[in-house]
Structure 1
Amino acid sequence: MTAQIEAKLAELGITLPEAAAPAANYVPFLKTGNQLYISGQLPMTAEGIQFKGKLGEDFTADEGSEAARLCAINLIAQMKAATGDLEKIARIVKLGGFVNSTADFGDQPAVINGASNLMVDVFGEKGRHARSAVSAAALPFGVAVEIDAIVELAD
């Protein structure tokens, strides 16, 4: 039972990367009480940043959803770095999704579904969360998507 989340990741073919170090003067996560706040994660792999550009110009909503899924994998890597054990995650409380998109692009929710769907796939009912999915004129390093999270930790 203690490796249920790790087993689910393996079943989905996901190997968690090393948790990314912050790119500026902030921490990647902060624990306070039983809450874990995770700084915005970008669509990065071991090869570096992926999905640079704007939704509605450079990427479709489906491609943006892939970028959001990659952000979610990086969020989970931060959860593991913060707790040492993903079984300590009681609930995904909220995802904040930012989509670098053109003024006429309106599918931000479909883009952020890539992250939301992965959280439910990995954590089951504990992965259901509140969220926002907003447009941004630009994001750090020109990425298409950035997502942060609030997570509840088990006692």
Structure 2
Amino acid sequence: MVSNKGSQSGSADRRLQDLGIQLPEVPKPFGTYVETVQTGNLLFFSGMLPVVDHKPKYIGRLGKELDAEAGRDAAYTAALNVLAAAKEHLGSLDRVTRVVRLGVFMATSGDFFDQPRVADAVSDLFRDVFGAEKASVRLVIGVASLPLGMPIELEVIFEVTE
């Protein structure tokens, strides 16, 4: 999934290449909203879901229909969608100066307690792309359900150059 290259030098766009990551198409909204909004030097993202080609990659709750590894892959997929939306909005991921906040919402059964490890799939990817010095604060929450039955939804805020 993600290698441990968070300390390598170079630009974020170059790190994507070095990691062999090709960004997906920017996801299309499932409702009346936009994927990104920039105000000043903050870039806000709509809740990012683990979708591929406008279809859920996973359906279900962690600890019931899905295990932690599927959750990690779903979180990673949603994070790739964040990066794709950022790159489309900014033109280059090199304009990201900090990952300010990461919220990872997971649809879980009542006895699933591996949320931090699932969320690390996103934190690790962002570290590998942007560098450890741009790490964010993080909120991880288990919930009863998420849009369209998907297991993961990300809330992300980047600080960017204007």
TM over 0.5: yes
The question of 1:50 aligning with 2:71 is answered no
Question: Which of 90, 93, 104 is equivalent to 1:86?
Answer: 93
Aligned position for 2:149: 142
What TM-score do the two structures reach when normalised by structure 1?
0.92
How far apart, in 1, do the equivalents of 2:37 and 2:151 lie? 25
The within-5 A match list for 1:9-24 is 9-24=16-31
State the Cα distance separating 1:47 from its structure 2 match: 7.3
The question of 1:8 aligning with 2:15 is answered yes
What code does the residue aligned with 1:48 have?
A: K
Question: Which of 63, 68, 78 is equivalent to 2:75?
Answer: 68
What code does the residue aligned with 1:101 have?
A: T
Cα deviation per residue 1:56-115 (whole Å; 9 max; x = unaligned)? 012221221111111111000111111111111101111111101001111111111111
Structure 2, unaligned runs of 5 or more: 1-9
State the number of aligned residues: 153
What's the Cα RMSD here?
1.5
SS at match of 2:47: strand
Residues 16 and 129, structure 2, Cα contact 8 Å, conserved in 1: yes
Aligned position for 1:153: 160
Aligned position for 2:106: 99
The within-5 A match list for 1:26-41 is 26-41=33-48
What code does the residue aligned with 1:39 have?
A: S
Over the matched positions of the two proteins, sequence identity in percent amounts to: 37
What code does the residue aligned with 2:100 have?
A: V
Structure 1, unaligned runs of 5 or more: none
Residues 51 and 144, structure 1, Cα contact 8 Å, conserved in 2: yes
What code does the residue aligned with 2:38 have?
A: K
Cα gap change, 1:47 to 1:12, in 2 (>3 Å): farther
What TM-score do the two structures reach when normalised by structure 2?
0.88
State the Cα distance separating 1:126 from its structure 2 match: 4.5
How far apart, in 1, do the equivalents of 2:54 and 2:40 lie? 35
